[in-house]
Structure formats: structure tokens, C-alpha cells
Amino acid sequence: MRTDPLTVDRFRSCLLQALNCKGSTVPDVVVGFSGGLDSTVLLSLCRELREQGVLKGVGALHVHHGLSRLADDWVNHAEALCQSWEIPLQVHYVQCGQGQNIEESARNARYQVFEESLQVGEVLLQAHHQDDQVETLLYRLVRGSGIHGMSGMPTTRSLGVGQLCRPLLVFPRSALEDYARRHGLEWIEDDSNTDTRFDRNFLRADIVPVLEQRWPGMKSRVARFSEICQDSVQLLDELAKEDLQAASLSVTFPGVGELQVVDCGWLSEQTAARRNLVLRHWLSVLDLPVPDSEMLERIYNEVVLARVDAEPELHWGGCSVYRHRHWLVALAALPRLGECKSQSSAVLKGDDFCLSFAGNGDVIAQWYDSSTGVSALRATTLNGQWSLRRDVMVEPFALPGRKGRKTLKKWLNELGVPAWLRERLPVLHKGAEVVAIPGVLVAADFCAGEGPGWSLKWQL
């Protein structure tokens, strides 16, 4: 199937469109440069745009994975080419895990370098092309990806403080090969690219050619399918955003601060498809791992539909979800309390202090010369014993402005402190007398009232 050739003008148009540049110039770019055919063509195109004044700054970044005996030779090649083209080059050396999925380990190490190296406003350019997009879609298809996965690699996305852009996605590899021949480019061949033990190499060598022979033009149609999926994903994301806004609110919890929580009642009224869409979007917004369909079903059956007073929880992949009253709460898995012991009396330093509990955050105290409208400790009551809630036995006590003396358990219930936080609450006490719990309460006998005092905060 004939395709239009890759030219500098076509590349310029694709780059400006991808970056949504309204003028004729784009920000400084850094090319992810392996030294292979694809990245060499991309670097050559950027060099041409620099000469035209379209690109002001062009740099290159090479990652040495240490996985090939030829890796040092590839660095030498990259340095020689960039020097001859007067393009500054960064070389980063990484350690890749030696587990079964070496591809994923190398990719993760590479993207970590990319993210850490980008400066504010810089754009990292990658040389992925249409054939790479097809391989990605087929790989995700056999792994059971949903519509988000089938949307393929995006042309642009944020990366750290900068942006990632793939301006060659519309071009097949054959167009890059033709450009390289016409311009007399030289590149290196990665010896691992022929090893079909790696999934992508297997697809590239054994599967895609058979499909293309049976259905000529298959690659361009599969790439078009990814664009259709991208449109569908955009619509779904817009719907999920609207639903989440209607179903969520912000609630402040001791130790963990303000969290976006979702109304379990709202979730229970939705279809499974719409409910799962909102849950996935919510977890993505919170930058938490999105679970598979099985775990989403468990979240609904075991947490959302639980009794209001049950306080169930589920954990997966470094993430936890809890039911607190009628809210669904999600956050990164809390550190294990382990052997965290009660602390000795705090020592003041200047006008404040910070007391650390191993594996359970810090207690911070700030002195206020006048009333702040919050419960504060009297000046002489800060020194005492610090213990975790799980380790302390205290007598009933009173709270300012509330009637009666009650047990700590009853006060925590009335104040709405979640069960999953109670055991790790840091308690300031004097023997069996509760003095304060940072961010939760100050006992009436130790409250500063309208006068100056200490304000306590606990941060996990």
C-alpha cells in the first residue's frame, strides 16, 4: 500500500499540530535517542527544523540500560553523531531488574530518566511510528485491555514538569526507512530486536507480517481504530468527570488530610458500567492504581454495599479502600505500625516541635499567642507521654463545650474518626488522663480556651 513520503515539511506540520502550537515555533525539545533507525530519523528531522528556525533548542538523551554487550558502543555512536550535528547529548546509566519481564523493567527505568531529566516546559520527543502503535494495540488486545488500553499510545501527554510527544505516529516504519536512505543516515541495530522470546519482537516478526499479508493495509486500519478509541475514551472521561463531581466531596481526616470521597448511595443507584467508569476515573484522579474488573466488583459488593457501621476495607497493589459512614474512601496503603512504641516526653525547640513516630508520621506543634478559634493546649500541658491509641488505656474525660465525661472510644465515635485510623492515633496523656489527640480533640481539663496555647497537628 503506497504512502506519502516522510518529509521535513510534513514532519513540521505534524509536530506543530501535536503540540497545538499557534505560531511557527515550538518549545525546546529533547529527543529520546537510542541510535537506532527511528530515533536517528527523528533527530535528523529536528536538526533540519533547527536550521529553519522552527526549533530553537534541540537536545538528545541516551539511556544506557546495561543489557547488551554492545551498550558502550551505542553510547560512542550517539556521542559521535551528536557531536557532528552539534546537538548536546545527555547519557544516563540505569540498572534494570533481572526478572522475567526485562522489557517492562527497561521501559520503567527509561521513563524515570525521561521524567527526571525534563526541565519546566521542555518537550521530550519519541520516535514511535505507526508500526509501533499496531504492535502496542495487538499486545494490549491479547492481554485483555479495555478501551483505554486500545486507544494506544497518545500523541502527547504530560511527563513530569514537561511534555512527551510522538510526532511520527502517523508514519509507517517504511516511510522512516525511505527517509533514512534518501538522506544517507547511519544507525545502529539492536541485536535484541530479533529475539522473539520478547513479546513485541514476536509480534513484529511472526504475527504482524502474516496479518498484513492476509489483509493488506491492516496496519493503517488498526491505527485508525486506535484513533476511534481515543475519541470514545475522551467522551467517557468527560462523562466520568461530570459524574464524579456530582458524587464526591472533600472530607478531612486526621493524619491524612483532605481526601476526595465518593457517596456510596450514589454508586448503588448506578449501572455496573457507569459505576465502574466513575471508580476508575476517581482512582486515576487520586493517582492510585486502578484495579481490574474483579476487584471493582469486590469493592462494590464488599465495601459499597456494606452496612453503614461495618467499616470494611480492601487492599491491592499499594492501595486501600474503606467504607466510612456513607462514603467510599481511597488512599495509598498506610505504613504498617509494626513495632512502633510509645514515645517519651517531647522536648521543645524554640516556638514549636516535631515528634516522629517510626512508621506512623509526625506530630507537629505550633504556638499561638492568641485564640485561633480551634482547641489548643495550655502552655504548661504539652509535656507528657506520647503513645499510640492501641497501646494506651485511659479514663473517661470531658471535651470543651460538650456534656459529660465519656470513654475515648465513645468520643471517637461521636467525632466520626474512622476505625481504620483509630489504632494509630498518637495520644498525648499523663498516665490514664487524656490530654490531647492531634487534629482530633483536646481534653477540657487541658484546653487553653480563648487564651494562647499549642495547636497540634498529626501528619502521616
Q: Which three cell numbers stand for residue 361?
A: 508520621
Same domain for 75 and 195, yes or no, is: yes
Considering the domain boundaries, does residue 221 fall inside one?
no
Q: Are residues 287 and 365 in the same domain?
A: no
Nine-digit cell at 387?
A: 503513645
pLDDT at 102: 77
pLDDT tens-place string over residues 236-269: 999 999 999 999 999 999 988 899 999 999 999 9
Query: Cα–Cα–Cα angle for 71, 77, 80, nearest 5°?
Result: 145
Q: Which of 271, 297, 332 is the last residue of a domain?
A: 332
| Domain identity same for 26 and 128 | yes
Q: Which three cell numbers stand for residue 412?
A: 471517637
pLDDT of 345: 45
Binding residues: 34-39
Tell which of 282, 308, 332 closes a domain: 332
**Binding site for ATP: residue ranges?**
34-39
Query: In terms of Cα–Cα distance, which of 311, 355, 314 is closest to 331?
Result: 314
- C-beta separation of 290 from 330 below 8 A: no
Handedness of CA 34, 39, 40, 42 (dihedral sign): negative
Nearby residues of 376 by Cβ (< 8 Å), 6 or more positions away = 368, 442, 447, 448, 452, 453, 454, 455
Looking at this protein, which amino acid is placed at residue 26?
V
Are residues 212 and 269 located together in one domain of the fold? Answer: no
444 and 413 together in one domain: yes
359 vs 377, higher pLDDT: 377
CA torsion sign for 154, 160, 161, 167 is negative
H-type helices in 126-271, by residue range? 130-142, 147-150, 173-182, 199-202, 208-214, 218-247, 264-268
Mean pLDDT of 352-377: 73
Question: For the domain that residue 253 is a member of, what is the CATH number?
Answer: 1.20.59.20
Alpha-carbon distance of 313 to 328, in angstroms, equals: 10
Residue 275 pLDDT exceeds 70: yes
Nearest residue to 135 (alpha-carbon basis) of 69, 218, 61, 235: 218
433 and 304 housed in the same domain: no
Nearest to 48 by CA among 154, 139, 182: 182
Query: In the prediction, which pLDDT does 334 show?
Result: 85
Provide the domain count of the chain. Answer: 3
Q: What is the CATH number of the domain that holds 81?
A: 3.40.50.620
Question: What global pTM score does this model have?
Answer: 0.77
Same domain, residue pair 304 and 450: no
Does 292 share its domain with 362?
A: no
Q: pLDDT by residue (tens digit) across 32-91? A: 999 999 999 999 999 999 999 999 899 999 999 888 888 899 999 999 999 999 999 999
The amino acid present at 309, given as its one-letter code, is D
Q: Are 343 and 387 in contact (CB under 8 A)?
A: yes
Residue 3 lies in a domain: no
C-alpha cell at 332: 495509598
- The verdict on 294 and 372 lying in the same domain is no
Q: Are residues 384 and 269 in the same domain?
A: no
pLDDT at 3: 67
Which structural domain range is residue 73 located in?
A: 8-216
Residue at which a domain ends, from 216, 251, 271: 216
| Sign of the dihedral defined by the CA atoms of residues 79, 133, 201, 117, in that order | positive
Burial of 454 (0-12, 13-18, 19+ CB in 10 A): buried
Q: How far apart are CA 45 and CA 92, in angstroms?
A: 23
Same structural domain, 81 and 203 = yes
Band of pLDDT at residue 350, cut at 50, 70 and 90: very low
Residue 349 has a pLDDT of 46
76 lies in the same domain as 19: yes
Measured distance CA(178)–CA(21) in Å, rounded: 28
- Would you state the pLDDT for residue 300? 96
Contacting residues for 399 by C-beta, under 8 A, at least 6 apart: 411, 441, 442, 443, 444
**Cα–Cα distance for residue pair 302/323, rounded to 1 Å:** 9
